[in-house]
């Protein structure tokens, strides 16, 4: 598969994978390996009293040697997201940040106003922002104008597994920004959703729950990896035009009994 570039960094895999909700650390590690992903999302959280979960998690993730994309998950204001991003840069030593500013606790829909505000400040500080956004073209233009070089529209609400809720809007976004790396982030449930996003010309997909909550997360990780490859190949190959009527594929010429 052809590599993809985010902020000047080339990666071979077009599947970005989250690290949450796996049944065990061992299954997480195996799923990461089987997915062949190059980029993992992580978060910052308070450690439980006397716990070592953070240290153990970081040891496991570090050993896998993937690029780290910290997130600002759970932030409900630009200020919270900016502070979290600054903290993440300090501990993960990367300018990358998956910027989430959540506008509604039930739908986890992005607060696009806070998102643009936070993106402006973080880009000015030298962060390389991966904004989790909607499929709204005007918001996308604002994000690009403040310095984002990647856009990550949702497919469906986080963790819903619904797939591409608004295929038309995602297709329009691809057409509108032909040279911007676009990543469908959130809402994918099965590998065919990932293939569909890639067939639309998206540069990559980011998912977590669909793998972590599968009956066999390791097998599902491979399923998504294959689907991403298949979708990318299909996009590059160029799909046939859909037709309203049947057209025989076997030649009519030379047919008997006519």
Which amino acids are annotated catalytic? 98
Minimum distance, C-beta of residue 133 to another protein, in the bound complex (Å): 16
What's the sign of the alpha-carbon dihedral 190, 195, 201, 203?
Answer: positive
Strands 152-153 and 67-70: unpaired
Residue nearer to another protein on the CB measure, 3 or 53: 53
* Angle of CA points 66, 112, 169, to nearest 5°: 85
Residue nearer to another protein on the CB measure, 42 or 146: 42
Buried-state track 171-206, b at ≥16 Cβ within 10 A, e below 16: eebbeeeeebbbbbbbbbbbbebbbbbbbbbbbbbb
Residue nearer to another protein on the CB measure, 61 or 170: 61
Minimum distance, C-beta of residue 61 to another protein, in the bound complex (Å): 7
Minimum distance, C-beta of residue 183 to another protein, in the bound complex (Å): 13
DSSP 91-102: HH--SEEEE--B
Residues of the shown chain interacting with another protein in the complex, contacts defined by CB under 8 A: 18-22, 28, 41-47, 50, 52-55, 57-58, 61, 70-71, 73, 79-80, 83, 86-88, 90-92, 158-159, 208-209
What 3-state DSSP class applies to 4? strand
Minimum distance, C-beta of residue 242 to another protein, in the bound complex (Å): 34
Residue nearer to another protein on the CB measure, 73 or 227: 73
What 3-state DSSP class applies to 79? helix
Q: How many CB atoms lie within 10 A of CB 88?
A: 24
CB 74 within 8 A of CB 98: no
Residue nearer to another protein on the CB measure, 73 or 197: 73
Minimum distance, C-beta of residue 236 to another protein, in the bound complex (Å): 28
Strands 204-207 and 183-185: parallel
């Amino acid at each position: 598969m052809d590599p993809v570039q985010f902020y000047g960094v080339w990666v071979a895999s077009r599947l970005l994978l989250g690290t949450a909700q796996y049944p065990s650390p061992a299954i997480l590690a195996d799923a990461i390996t089987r997915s062949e992903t190059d980029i993992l999302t992580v978060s910052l959280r308070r450690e439980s009293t006397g716990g070592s979960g953070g240290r153990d998690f970081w040891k496991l993730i570090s050993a896998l040697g993937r690029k780290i994309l910290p997130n600002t998950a759970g932030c409900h204001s630009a200020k919270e997201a900016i502070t979290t991003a600054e903290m993440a840069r300090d501990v993960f030593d990367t300018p990358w940040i998956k910027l989430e500013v959540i506008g509604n606790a039930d739908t986890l829909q992005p607060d696009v106003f806070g998102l643009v505000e936070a993106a402006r400040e973080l880009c000015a500080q030298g962060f390389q922002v991966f904004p989790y956004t909607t499929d709204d073209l005007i918001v996308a233009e604002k994000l690009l104008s403040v310095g984002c070089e990647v856009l990550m529209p949702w497919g469906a609400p986080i963790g819903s597994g619904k797939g591409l809720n608004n295929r038309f809007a995602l297709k329009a976004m691809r057409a509108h920004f032909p040279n911007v790396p676009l990543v469908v982030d959130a809402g994918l449930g099965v590998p065919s959703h990932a293939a569909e996003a890639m067939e639309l010309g998206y540069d990559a997909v980011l998912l977590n729950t669909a793998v972590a909550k599968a009956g066999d997360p390791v097998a599902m990780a491979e399923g998504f990896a294959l689907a991403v490859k298949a979708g990318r190949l299909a996009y590059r190959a160029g799909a046939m035009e859909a037709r309203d009527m049947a057209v025989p594929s076997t030649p009519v010429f030379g047919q008997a009994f006519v």
